[in-house]
Chain A
Amino acid sequence: MEIPYLSLMILVPLVGTIVSFLLPRESTKAKWVCLIAALISLVISFIVTFAYVWSWPMGLQLDPSGSFAAYEKADWIPTLGMSYVLGVDGLSLPLIVLTHLLVALGIVFSWKETDRPKEFFGLLLLMDLSITGVFMSLDLFLFFIFWELVLIPMYFLIGIWGGPNKHYAAIKFLIYTHVGSVIMLLGIFALYFWAGPALAVGNTFNLVELANAAKLDPTYLGMAFQAPVFVAFFFGFGVKMPMVPFHTWLPDAHVEAPTAGSVVLAGLLLKMGGYGLFRLGLTMFPLAAREMWWLLATFGVVSMVYAAFVCLAQTDLKRLIAYSSISHMGFVLLGASSTLTIGIAGGIFQMFNHGLITAVLFMLAGVAKRSCHTRDISKLTGLVQKMPLFSFILMVSFFASLGLPGLNGFVSEFMVFAGSYESFGRYLIIPLLAIIITGAYYIWTMHKMVFGDFNTALGKIRDLTREEALPLFILLAFIIFFGLYPAPVIGLIEPYAAGLSSLLGGLG
């Protein structure tokens, strides 16, 4: 019997969202509803992953061409070539697992939320639905619907539960990323009207058909078509990712967003940009991606180095983490520009790792705000004396983020650098500069926060509570596990990266 697991991963959060919105005002059951829905989705995503890796007979619907782990298709608007196509493979599976995991843990972390709780948890679950939808859609039209749907719950999460400057941050987030999306929409039109007929698949939004055809004829329509359309997509993804200089919405959004919102924003929303780059940008425009690797590399390196320098000047813990996110997402671009299997796989793995690490970091910033009522690094000093667990997790996650061997961040950054050595040669010293600065700002911050003299003005502060400790330790376990034994995830990603690399490399 075939079970539509992928549709279930959309349906379960949808039902959960609707139920939690329909609960009576100030009901406290919403968090249970949403947590259960998120956990069910998480279990489904694990089932799909394991069934794919170990070929369990779980009744996955397979696609005829065999390039997807699971694949579901139905007609939707055949008049205009739109269909409902979902599929997962090595690129999307780690991100889907990550999505459900972070949303579930974000709900646990916000367990004590009392301001409009049912809307808060309902919107978090709606984020889960729409982000999963982005990672699974294989129809450009469906993809765009989910892509845009993400904006609405995030806008409300920042706008309602945000900090003092939330109105500005929420609208800035919305307009910036929406502009990026509509530019991308023009690119989608171009694919539909020009690429489809040129590739002899007709006017279609079906990404699988388009991608398979592009694989056979990677230089279709030449640079005159591929370059501008690739740039349109690249802009849409770059704003989301975000890359310098289109990043300014991110620090504002992060500083104002509630903790669970920040976790989802940095952990998952930014990954949509990277995911789109691989799934659409590199796959659909092999020639442009190959010829314009310098574009990706430049933006990647500038993001890495610039954002790292900016980090040095931050006084707000959350803003520091936000800028470090920009810096770390630069690795994804750099990995993509390498066009080698190890570099591409490193870029994808970096997205997964960054999701785990940054979730921990934002939760820690949330704990600091809850417990000490400030995120000012100069006031948060010597916390090890009063908050030993907090300090321990802070140290490990900082080390993971700055790329200490043995923790997961190191593995993916190493892969990215290894992949880009061939094209960069000794100029690799420039992106490597980012590593040094990253180390500097993290160690400097850690030195102050953990080991400095205790700031007595903080008064009585508490360590982690149970609902804070649980998600943090779960994430920490993943960080350490994948640092020591990254093979499962890399094994999942590698076939996809190899396919993409041979497509790009085949041109050179």
Chain B
Amino acid sequence: MSYQVLSPIIILLAFAFAIIIVNMFVKSKRRYFAYMALTGMIISLILVVDMAGLSFTSAMGLDLWDSPVNLTFPNLKLKVDAFSLFFYVVFLIAGILVTIGSISYIEKEEKYRAEYFSLMLLAVVGMMLVASTTDLFVLYLAFELTSISTYALAAFRKKDKASAEAGLKFFLMGAVSSAIALFGISIVYGVTAFTPGGPTTDLSQISDALNFALQGGIAHVQIPIILGSILLIAGFGFKIAIVPFHMWAPDVYQGSPTTISAFLAAGTKKGGFAAFFQLFLVALIAAKFQWGLLVGILAVITMVVGNVLAIVQTDLKRMLAYSSIAQAGYILIAICVGTLAFDGDVDTAQLAVAGGLLHILIHVFMKSGAFLVVALTATAKVGENLNDYKGLYRRMPIVAFCMTILLLSLAGIPPLGGFFSKFVLFSSAVNAGGWFVWLAVFGVLNSALSLYYYVRVIKYMYILKGEDESRVKVPTALYVAVILATLGVILSGLLAEPLISFAKAAAGGLLGG
């Protein structure tokens, strides 16, 4: 066994505990903790990219690992393959961007800074475990690790009423949804107990068991499977904020410290998607007739509600929260079309899942970038309301330009990254034919609708004249993070080829395994 492929996770864990331990001895007012967290994540990212076969060792022909790595550890209930590596990249990029931004955003909070960065690392570890587990129950536990870390992070500014409220709301909603998900897991587990394989929590064995049950192996199995699916959709639907389980998201995103909003929208939400992919395209794929149409309907409702409600928002964080809900609707298309793998149409399913994964990755850049712009303007005392953005182009030209790129990418304007991923995603739905085409139709129409509110922000920045047009000093670390995110959006558009190949390999890993 080559356990070194788990090193990205182990390194993060080590840094998370190191930060806490160092904090016991050093009461530093400097930024050591942020740099420690950043170091851990960058080392981890380099290793992950290398394992995916996209970096120096494979180019040098060292062959440290087969590229991409594909190893299973049955006793740890973990596997490391292209799918989990892809999500590692997603989570680590989200973590790195948010940590860089936090260097200037969290500066004034002297207390608990060590905890802030330590919890962030733990949340990333939890999500990485979600993406690489092979077991339903480990998946639940890993997700709870992330959730509990982020509850604390949302309430990080405990003296701030909005932040405390956000944390509490997030915690209550999260706890309820976890309970619902757990109930769903127990029902699925119960069904498997009556199959020849015996009770199991292994994801692919569950798939076989459900297949057996639904082929007539067990009488009257429809109702428990449908119930279990609905409970799982509801439980994890809360985590990724799909309509109608989305109510908490705008409030929490608005109240939390903005860097944490960025982390929730760009990072932990993607953890929820990793869980969704694992659950529905591996474990429950045999029951696709029981939940497929429901997820499709929810996808459409989520897009429409997210976009329509985003139009009426004037608070940028709320607007971005609703846009994030709408984006989740697009990604759900991948899950619907991905079910075709069960019918043997693996090519279409793989393309759809690759599109979903690509959108997840690029959404990390877009959404964390946009939230960090809001954090930046708030830190620079410009404000985080739409009206505060009037004439922003005179006050901080480069930030306004970056925001424009990020928003246009969110709207799916070519040649930016967001366009490529939506292109692959929607095209796979058209390719799937049947009722899936309607998903694509709603997807493109919603994209057109969303352009309205994204462009409105651009209008405020560039076209309307502000009262105050003096230059503003920009906090450096946030500035760097925003520029990195913008570069990510532009480069992922221009260098789409390696990304698409990687996403396709990841999709193949998910559907094949």
- A interface list, Cβ under 8 A from B: 76-80, 141, 144-145, 148-149, 151-152, 155-156, 159-160, 166-167, 170-171, 174-175, 178-179, 182-183, 185-186, 189-190, 192-193
- B interface list, Cβ under 8 A from A: 408, 413-415, 419, 423-424, 426-427, 430-431, 440-441, 444-445, 447-448, 451-452, 455-456, 459, 462-463, 496-497, 500-501, 504
Tell whether, in the assembled complex, residue A148 and residue B414 are in contact, meaning their CB atoms are under 8 Å apart: yes
Tell whether, in the assembled complex, residue B497 and residue A193 are in contact, meaning their CB atoms are under 8 Å apart: no
Query: Per a CB cutoff under 8 Å, which of B447, B500, B504 touches A182?
Result: B447
**Alpha-carbon distance between A160 and B465 when the two chains are bound, in angstroms:** 10
Distance of A67 from chain B, by nearest CB (Å): 27
Report which residue of A151, A160, A170, A186 has the largest number of chain B beta carbons within 10 angstroms of its beta carbon: A186
The chain A residue with its CB closest to the CB of B426 is: A189
The chain B residue with its CB closest to the CB of A187 is: B430
Distance of A61 from chain B, by nearest CB (Å): 23
Q: Which residues of B contact A192 (CB under 8 A)?
A: 427
Which A-B residue pairs are the 8 nearest by beta carbons? A182-B444, A189-B430, A145-B414, A193-B431, A159-B463, A189-B427, A179-B448, A77-B497
Tell whether, in the assembled complex, residue A183 and residue B431 are in contact, meaning their CB atoms are under 8 Å apart: no
With A174-B455, A189-B431 known as contacts, the answer to whether A151 contacts B413 (CB < 8 A) is yes
**Alpha-carbon distance between A174 and B455 when the two chains are bound, in angstroms:** 9
Tell whether, in the assembled complex, residue A175 and residue B427 are in contact, meaning their CB atoms are under 8 Å apart: no
**Alpha-carbon distance between A141 and B420 when the two chains are bound, in angstroms:** 10
10 more A-B residue pairs beyond the given contacts A149-B414, A186-B441, with a C-beta to C-beta distance below 8 A? A76-B497, A77-B500, A79-B501, A80-B424, A156-B463, A159-B459, A167-B463, A178-B448, A179-B448, A193-B430
Q: Which residues of A contact B441 (CB under 8 A)?
A: 186
The chain A residue with its CB closest to the CB of B456 is: A171
Q: Which residues of B contact A79 (CB under 8 A)?
A: 497, 500-501, 504
> Could you list some 28 contacts between A and B, CB below 8 A?
A78-B497, A79-B500, A79-B501, A145-B414, A148-B413, A148-B414, A149-B413, A149-B414, A149-B415, A155-B455, A156-B463, A159-B463, A160-B462, A166-B463, A170-B459, A171-B455, A175-B452, A178-B448, A178-B451, A179-B448, A182-B448, A185-B423, A185-B444, A186-B426, A186-B444, A189-B430, A193-B427, A193-B431
The chain B residue with its CB closest to the CB of A181 is: B448
Distance of B116 from chain A, by nearest CB (Å): 38
Q: Which residues of B contact A151 (CB under 8 A)?
A: 413
Q: Which residues of B contact A152 (CB under 8 A)?
A: 408, 413
The chain A residue with its CB closest to the CB of B496 is: A77
**Alpha-carbon distance between A180 and B408 when the two chains are bound, in angstroms:** 18
Report which residue of B408, B440, B455 has the largest number of chain A beta carbons within 10 angstroms of its beta carbon: B455
Tell whether, in the assembled complex, residue A144 and residue B414 are in contact, meaning their CB atoms are under 8 Å apart: yes
**Alpha-carbon distance between A179 and B450 when the two chains are bound, in angstroms:** 11
Tell whether, in the assembled complex, residue B440 and residue A186 are in contact, meaning their CB atoms are under 8 Å apart: yes
Distance of A419 from chain B, by nearest CB (Å): 35
**Alpha-carbon distance between A262 and B414 when the two chains are bound, in angstroms:** 24
The chain A residue with its CB closest to the CB of B440 is: A186
Query: Per a CB cutoff under 8 Å, which of B445, B452, B463, B504 touches A160?
Result: B463
The chain A residue with its CB closest to the CB of B348 is: A193
Distance of A30 from chain B, by nearest CB (Å): 15
Q: Which residues of A contact B430 (CB under 8 A)?
A: 186, 189-190, 193
The chain A residue with its CB closest to the CB of B431 is: A193
Q: Which residues of A contact B447 (CB under 8 A)?
A: 182
**Alpha-carbon distance between A124 and B441 when the two chains are bound, in angstroms:** 33
The chain A residue with its CB closest to the CB of B501 is: A79
**Alpha-carbon distance between A155 and B414 when the two chains are bound, in angstroms:** 15
Q: Which residues of B contact A189 (CB under 8 A)?
A: 426-427, 430-431, 440
Report which residue of B414, B426, B504 has the largest number of chain A beta carbons within 10 angstroms of its beta carbon: B414
**Alpha-carbon distance between A160 and B427 when the two chains are bound, in angstroms:** 35
Q: Which residues of B contact A145 (CB under 8 A)?
A: 414-415, 419
Tell whether, in the assembled complex, residue B451 and residue A175 are in contact, meaning their CB atoms are under 8 Å apart: yes
The chain A residue with its CB closest to the CB of B429 is: A189
Distance of B500 from chain A, by nearest CB (Å): 5
Q: Which residues of B contact A175 (CB under 8 A)?
A: 448, 451-452
Q: Which residues of A contact B497 (CB under 8 A)?
A: 76-79
**Alpha-carbon distance between A234 and B408 when the two chains are bound, in angstroms:** 26
The chain B residue with its CB closest to the CB of A82 is: B496
**Alpha-carbon distance between A179 and B412 when the two chains are bound, in angstroms:** 12
Distance of B175 from chain A, by nearest CB (Å): 40
The chain B residue with its CB closest to the CB of A192 is: B427
**Alpha-carbon distance between A189 and B351 when the two chains are bound, in angstroms:** 13
**Alpha-carbon distance between A3 and B447 when the two chains are bound, in angstroms:** 39
